[in-house]
Amino acid sequence: MDSDQKDSWLERQLRERIKELDCLYSLVKLIEQNEDSIEKILQGVVDLLPGSWQFPEIASARIVYKERTFQSSNFKSTQWNQKAAIVIAGRQEGLVEVHYLKKMQQLDEGPFLKEERLLIDAVSDHIAKAVERIKTQRQLQVERQALQDANAALHDSLAQSQREKKMIGLSIQAKIEKIITPIFYALQAEMDPRQLKYLDLLKKNFADIISPFVEGNQDVLNKLSPVELLISNMIKHGLSSKEIANLRAISPATVNRHRESIRNKLGLTNRKINLVSYLNGRVEE
């Protein structure tokens, strides 16, 4: 090979490498511009590939992905072809093909260069990664939408539960006012001051049927004894230690010991939290 022939050969080799690099650059750009569409990427690739091979004037391309086929406008299946599998998660899901429309001289792989083998393998690898990324994004969108739907359904369910709870409360309240309240008024006229204290406490406990005593404070029920629950109920409704002592026929000192035990069991010892506020669900440090 003389000097001129060598220069011509080197020039051809350089042109081919530039075409290959340009193919890969254009492929990356194509994927970036269509990052949410597998179909547009695959059609764009088959339009891009023929011009990147050594004999673009007789080259055509096809991609088979699952049950769909994408091909260049001049595609024709021939015996002179080069193929590369599209492998995703270890499984072949498609095939990239370049076909020459007529017989050419034998080179490294039939009529194809070894560099073209590297190129088609690189193209199939880029396609596989792009498809896998898009499928993952779509799955995430489906899961995100499902989560949003579940949250919306939960919100609607909670709202419906609150409406039903309110309706039940109003119904109970109406029955209390219609049936129980008149009896309270009749008893009130007949009672002495001590009995009136119990009657007042009874009225407040009926109110708790609508707004439960331990609402938001379930640990009260779990931690206190029956006697402590009764005294807590009186404290909650504003009775003093002396008033509780009179109603229970015990000494104020005993009531204070119950208070200390209640605070201890509820974790309020040495904390600046008002017991009445705590029992009413209005905690203030």
Q: For the chain (length 285 residues), average pLDDT per consecutive 10?
A: 64 80 90 90 94 92 94 94 93 95 91 92 93 90 90 87 76 70 70 78 69 49 74 84 86 92 88 84 60
Count up the domains in the chain and report the number.
Answer: 2
Are residue 9 and residue 137 in the same domain, yes or no?
yes
H-helix segments, the chain: 3-33, 38-48, 114-175, 181-188, 193-210, 219-223, 226-236, 241-248, 252-265, 275-279
53 assigned to some structural domain: yes
**Which residues on neighbouring strands pair with residue 64, listed in sequence order?**
69, 95
User: What letter represents residue 15's amino acid?
Assistant: R
Which CATH number fits the domain that encloses residue 43? 3.30.450.40
Are residue 84 and residue 8 in the same domain, yes or no?
yes
85 assigned to some structural domain: yes
265 φ/ψ angles, rounded to the nearest 5 degrees = -65, -30
Q: What is the DSSP letter of 111?
A: T
203 assigned to some structural domain: yes
Q: What is the DSSP letter of 205?
A: H
Q: Quick check: pTM over 0.75?
A: no
Which CATH number fits the domain that encloses residue 217? 1.10.10.10
Structural domain for 244, as ranges: 191-279
154 assigned to some structural domain: no
Boundary residue ending a domain (116, 147, 178): 147
What pLDDT, on a 0 to 100 scale, did the predictor assign at position 209?
61
